[in-house]
Structure 1
Amino acid sequence: MGSNNGKNSSEATEAVQKEIASEKVVVFSKTYCPYCANTKKLLSSSGVSAKIIEINLEPDQGKMTQAALLSLTSQRTVPNIFIGGKHVGGDDAIQNLARTGGLKPLLEEAGVPNII
């Protein structure tokens, strides 16, 4: 790995961490992903405002973002969801939280105004 790749990787990781810290709910998504659509629908129908980052809209940056997410979370797939700076997981995880009543307390802990 050349030093330029290391720098890009490091910058991508920093950019991802900055995004996660900038909002209470962040979803790394792809526009064509049905699981991402499920997650966005759940959040929207729950009255939760989330920052959605569609990583496929910038192919080169998106690949670096996906690699950074993998190194931060051990999860390469999308959606990759963060609430209050904490990694929640993907669509299965957030749907399960919603079903079992765990989503509302997580949102409240993060200071997210919600209407669940």
Structure 2
Amino acid sequence: MERVNALAKTKAAMIFSKSTDCMSHSIETLFHELGASPGVHELDHDPKGQEMECALQKLGCNPTVPAVFIGGKYVGSAGDVLAAHLNGSLKDRLMQAKAIWL
């Protein structure tokens, strides 16, 4: 869990993903369209990826990817991010975390 938290704080927006996961790619694309440049950490390319995936499960992330953090805080998985985008709160969170500027 320490590694997940440490990596989540390295960028204003961080997405934990797997290179073959289409929802992870979709969330990353959404962030880019909103003007953010999120950090992306692919668990399948990390030797400790399985441990990190277990830590994400303990946070309640099911499925475990994509797991999105904004401002170092866990936001949720794809469904949570899309819901936040639809109600307008995603952009506000990204602005508060200084992941985007308007």
Question: TM-score normalised to the size of structure 1?
Answer: 0.79
Whole-angstrom distance in 1 between the partners of 2:33 and 2:96: 20
Residue 88 of structure 1, aligned match among 62, 70, 75 = 75
Count of aligned positions = 101
SS at match of 1:42: helix
Q: Once the 2 structures are TM-superposed, how far is the Cα of residue 114 of structure 1 from its aligned partner?
A: 4.2
State the distance in 2 between where 1:36 and 1:114 align.
23
2:44 counterpart (53, 56, 61): 56
Write 1 or 2 for the structure with the bigger share of helix: 1
- Would you say 1:75 and 2:87 are equivalent positions? no
Identity, % of aligned positions:
27
- Could you list the structure 1 runs, at least 4 aligned residues long, displaced by more than 6 angstroms after superposition: none
Partner of 1:102: 89
Q: Deviations over 1:68-111 (max 9, x none)?
A: 2222x121420000001111111111111111111111112212
| RMSD, aligned CA | 1.4
* Alignment partners' CA distance in 1, 2:29 and 2:48: 25
Contact kept in structure 1, 2:15 and 2:38, CA below 8 Å: yes
Letter in 1 for 2:57: L
Which of the residues 15, 24, 43 maps onto 1:27?
A: 15
Letter in 2 for 1:48: A
Task: Provide the secondary structure at the position in 1 that maps to 2:82.
Answer: helix
CA distance in structure 1 between the aligned counterparts of 2:101 and 2:15, rounded to whole angstroms: 16
Deviation at 1:113, TM superposition (A): 2.1
- Provide the C-alpha distance between the structure 2 equivalents of 1:68 and 1:93, rounded to a whole number of angstroms: 18
**Higher gyration radius (CA):** 1
**Unaligned stretches of 5+ residues in structure 1:** 1-12
TM-score by length of 2: 0.89
Partner amino acid, structure 1, of 2:37:
S
Alignment partners' CA distance in 1, 2:27 and 2:101 = 15
